[in-house]
Structure 1
Amino acid sequence: MYNYLDFEKPVADLEGKILELKKLAENGEAVDVGDEIARLEKRSKEALRDAYRQLTPWQKVQVARHPDRPHALDYVSALFTEFTPLAGDRGFGEDNAIVGGFARFRGAPVAVLGLEKGNDTQTRLKHNFGSARPEGYRKAVRIMELADRFGVPVVSLVDTAGAYPGVDAEARGQAEAIARSTSACLGLKVPNVCVIIGEGGSGGAIAIAVANKVYMLEHSIYSVISPEGAASILWRDTTRSKDAATSMKITAQDLLDLKIIDGIVAEPLGGAHRGKEAVIKATGDQIAKGFAEMDSANMDYREHRREKFLAMGRSL
């Protein structure tokens, strides 16, 4: 059974009935329920398709935050081989919200950076729910500098509500660390590709997302602030989060229209959590396509990045 979202209640009811019938059949308490199960499964699929046919921005926020979505480490383990993680910023300590190191992607060496939320209570606490401290961003800078030195492309996987806002993080220079990480992305002489796999929140995401190619999963979000934060600032009312989500243009479809991102990776019906293997494979194919396009263009990666980000908003 899945963790159902509010708008998935019709699907939850149908799938609950299917599960009950299957248990009755297994215990020998029902005679022939095969036809009824098939009928309910068909209705359930139709209900799921109806629910996801035209998601509102707020519903996409809910899907992007779904706890069962594949996280950065799921992508790393499935798409990359010989992954060797690096730890520490060589200044203060280690930060587990950002995982990074070197690996091979379809045979070629790459540097990998990922914002990891964790998938249960223990790992969520370990990774601080994907909210990095300054040492995490300084570790990212260290990895990017090594990648640049050895001519290795960089892949970033983003899933965070934002950088950690605690007093200890601010005391150690959170804003400066994010700025330096963003600058390191912009200054890379090698190609870099970023995929927003869930939430892309604020400067915490931007710090490793300033890439030649930026892609988003179909139901992911990317914004300067969370809808709740925007509603609190604009209207002093967090109950207006739905209005903020609509006004902010944070969905993949809106951002592609605005030319903020370069492409969208399709998700299985019902979201990435309902077809993890399929969405991870599709993401890998999109990353490979992005690198291939840049290789064939024989571009100056720093200049391409510069022009790409300077052009944002000029035609609006």
Structure 2
Amino acid sequence: MLDQLLAAVARRHGAPRIARRAEWASRGGVPYHSRVALLEVGDLAVEYTSGSGHGVVAVDGISFDLDAGEVVGLLGESGCGKTTLLLALLGLLPPEARIVRGTIRFRGRDLRTLDARERRRMRGADIAIVFQEPALALNPVRRVGSQVAEVIHAHRDGGGRRGRDDALSMLAEVGLDEPDRFYEAYPHELSGGQRQRVVLAQALACRPAVLLADEPTASLDSTTQAELRALLARLQARFGLAVLMASHDLGALAALARRVLVMYAGRLVEAGTPLQVFGAPLHPYSLGRLPAGCAFEPRCADRLAVCAERRPDPTAVPEGREVRCFKHGG
């Protein structure tokens, strides 16, 4: 699995693309994003108040930038603070949580200074979010098309027929090929993948600059996950989105991210390109996230103790052959 992951990362981030990036930059172009920091987070800390009144730190001194058009992956296990971080960025923390220090700047403006009305206008129009479970983001007793149109109406002059037309356009944009039919459907009539596409249509309806994605494919089957990853990549390129994607799925981040932040116990413990973080991790936690040993070890009748601990290197053997196996010197 790890070899396949690294091969996929190398194809996306390897030498030919790096060379093209340098060539475009030398001509004054910006190949992947405009390198303008849209979102700047500095020393952010979030604390939950427990039932006994004691504070529990969920996010501890997080700092990072998100550039225009950039995709950044946030890698970490459940409970490490990824969701809390995303909620803090949008001002959606529950009553028992509060930001105790730090700054959140969008286009230079500190979002912590916004009043409730300004914060509502910012959500959806400037920064949007997609959660793991789409069913929880949709009203079960309203048709999904009207829910997309409502977002458009809230942030743009998109009422009436125009709002419906824009909503139909967005449903088609996210790959729902019969938008008129889906517009009239209720959430329970759709599959999980279709509901997540509707939520994406809601999130992108007003063309936000930043999309926060919290495990957007985790609740879906593997085939639908792959389809949603491809859709996210296409929409990101089409709209020039800056994306902060939280996930524990290495494959999803390798497929989409240009930079990976590794989070553990509320802190960032490592950051780098996918090739660096997945191919040559430095922090022990990052290393522990990667599958160890030979991929065939569980099924191998001739396995050795070392096979479960380290990946064998390619070894040249007679007659021009090559093998990855410790029994042959790997």
* TM-score (structure 1 length as normaliser): 0.30
With a CA cutoff of 8 Å and minimum separation of 6, indicate the structure with the bigger relative contact order: 2
- The structure with the largest alpha-carbon Rg is 2
More strand by share: 2
* TM-score (structure 2 length as normaliser): 0.29
More helix by share: 1
